[in-house]
Amino acid sequence: MNKTMKIAVAAAAMGMAAQPYAQITFYEADGWRGRAYTANGQVRDLSRIGFNDRASSVVVDRGQWEVCEDANFRGQCMVLRRGSYDTLRGMGLNNRISSVRPIKARDRYDNEAPPPLAQPSYEWRRRPSERIVEVPVSDVRAVVGTPEQRCWVERQQVNEPSRPNAGGVIAGALIGGILGHQVGGGTGRDVATAGGAIAGAAIGNNVANQNNSYSRDVRRCENVSNPRPEYWDVTYNYRGVQHRVQMSTPPGNTIAVNSKTGEPRM
């Protein structure tokens, strides 16, 4: 090896040492589902490996990466930090990434994407180069949440039980007695006075209590069942072992699993 070649090799080695090991994985569907592709270095054109304009979610395992909508790092570009991005829709890059490369770690970039999820939630995601098989689903059960309470306020007419009003009764009796005394004569006058007093007492009591009906706001509640299932409890059998998994969407007739462990892959 001549001196020039030795210098080139040394420079390349120094460059590799200066560039920290980086890894990024793209997925065809939101939530780290579907076919996956992992890159450990720059890729100028993803069409060469069959993944151009296909990425919908990303997991950055190590390093910082720049993803661009056109080949050779052109067009709209964004910087992704370490973490999991369950969708690229909010960035405007869903199914639009054509090139990708690791970049030097910096505190801030002007074209940095929103922060990734703090806690990765892709334990069932497909791994690159992982062998997946489809197995039949043996049972599906939709699990509905507990009923929810719905409350509202409505106007209601309220009638409270009447209480005897002594003042009204006495006043009515006096007025009835005076009127009965005026129309009667002798014994008949006494009878009329007594009858007038009784009738007047009843009328006085009704007049005194005629305003006991009023309206007010009343709070009412009822339990309403939730028509949408919270999740689907799915059962399948793989190599003689029964597996169960909870899914946020109803499955089809089959489910994708790891060929070795039988673990579900979404």
User: Which residue reads 């007010």 in tokens?
Assistant: 216
> pLDDT exceeding 90 applies to what percent of the chain?
32
Distance CA 58, CA 256 (A): 20
Residue 99: its pLDDT value, please? 97
Domain chopping of the chain, boundaries: 3-129, 133-145+231-258, 150-223
CA dihedral 48, 106, 95, 118 (to 10 degrees): 130
Among 86, 125, 139, CA closest to 256: 125
Residue 234: its pLDDT value, please? 92
> pLDDT exceeding 70 applies to what percent of the chain?
69
Q: How far is CA 201 from the centre of its chain?
A: 66
pTM: 0.49
User: Beta strands of the chain (E only): which ranges?
Assistant: 23-29, 33-39, 57-62, 64-70, 74-80, 83-85, 99-103, 132-144, 148-159, 213-224, 229-238, 241-247, 254-258
> What is the CB neighbour count within 10 angstroms for residue 91?
17
Class of domain 3-129: mainly beta
| Both tokens assigned to 198 | 């009784």
Q: At what angle do helices 186-208 and 166-183 cross, to 10 degrees?
A: 150
Q: How confident is the model at residue 232 (pLDDT cuts 50, 70, 90)?
A: confident
